Homo-oligomer: A and B are copies of this chain.
């Protein structure tokens, strides 16, 4: 038996960092996917590429416990087009693929809730206390509204857009020196030192996140470029954008575009993935070429987990 599953990566449109403190975030599945290929064999479990082995085996162990079953006798091939450590949900997408592949292989019903729950359990091994938003958007696809109302009560709610969304470009500002955990810690320290100031930034970020929501629901006339610009400015105020990334974003703005980091950011050197918008993407593509920057167009609101034809 052979099974191939795929799941989408994600980007945060608005709400990073603020989301840790109960403010909303708007997240979307993108056309950048991970695939897992499962093939029966006669003995143990093999994982390719082998560097993914520890992550996968630990995840499988957790799933075995939950499903009260034993896994033996298959090869797993992982193939992900989602950049690792970029804030694009690469590990979550692989976890989602794996959960779906295992459920399919074990002939369990393939319900999305189950897939999401198993993937979340795997994510916990990897990240300690993940928000659960990455696996949710990877599973369900589309746009997801997320809010942590309390430790135990997190809301994930699908948003169905009523507007065609422009193709954005993603520019890679380079892998940050800091981890997501480091950056979350830095913001929490700043919050402690300047509670009123940071609270104000979060409230303004919430306004922007809601404006993004209104934009995709076509509720109000809003200019995407302005929303992205202001969002970036607020993230800079929070102190999660490095000087070189700020300079890069300024150049994009000078060309008539807008850009913001998407994810935890980084302040020392690089800040990870940058979402960029321009009415004419060619301007940005030229710019990136000149600057020798990695760039790729992304489509938003893409499908979540899928069973693929048996190939990888």
User: Which of A108-116, A167-175, A210-218 touches B?
Assistant: A210-218
> Whole-angstrom distance from the CB of A196 to the nearest CB of chain B?
12
B213 touches A149 (CB 8 A): yes
Residue contact B149 to A153, C-beta cutoff 8 Å:
no
- In the complex, which of the residues A145, A150, A214, A217 has the most CB atoms of chain B within 10 Å of its own CB atom? A150
State the copy count for this chain. Answer: 2
Contact B24 A152 (CB under 8 A): no
> Per-residue CB proximity of A215-240 to B under 8 Å, as 1/0?
00101000000000000000000000
Q: Which residue of B lies closest to A212 (CB)?
A: B150
Question: How many residues of A are in contact with the other chain, CB < 8 A?
Answer: 18
How many angstroms from the CA of A200 to the CA of B116 in the assembled complex? 37
Q: Please name all residues of chain B whose beta carbon is closer than 8 Å to the beta carbon of A219 when the two chains form the complex.
A: 150-152
Q: What are the residues of chain B within 8 A of A149 when measuring CB–CB?
A: 24, 145, 210, 213
Interface of chain A: mostly helix, strand, loop or mixed: mixed
Closest Cβ neighbor of A26 among chain B residues: B149
Tell me the bound Cα distance from A135 to B157 in angstroms: 20
A161 to nearest B CB, angstroms? Answer: 11
CB A201 to nearest CB in B, in angstroms, measures 15
B153→A213 contact, CB < 8 A: yes
CA distance A149 to B23 in the complex (A): 11
- B residues near A213, Cβ cutoff 8 Å: 149-150, 153
A153 & B22 in contact (Cβ 8 Å cutoff): no
Min CB–CB distance A222 → chain B (angstroms) = 11
Interface presence of A288 (CB below 8 A):
no
Closest to A218 in B: B152
Question: Given A22-B210, A210-B22 in contact, is the A159-B153 Cβ separation under 8 Å?
Answer: yes
Q: What residues make up the interface of A, taking CB atoms closer than 8 Å to B?
A: 22, 24, 145, 147, 149-153, 155, 157, 159, 162, 210, 213-214, 217, 219
Task: With A149-B213, A155-B157 given, name 5 new contacts (CB 8 A).
Answer: A147-B155, A150-B213, A150-B214, A152-B219, A155-B155
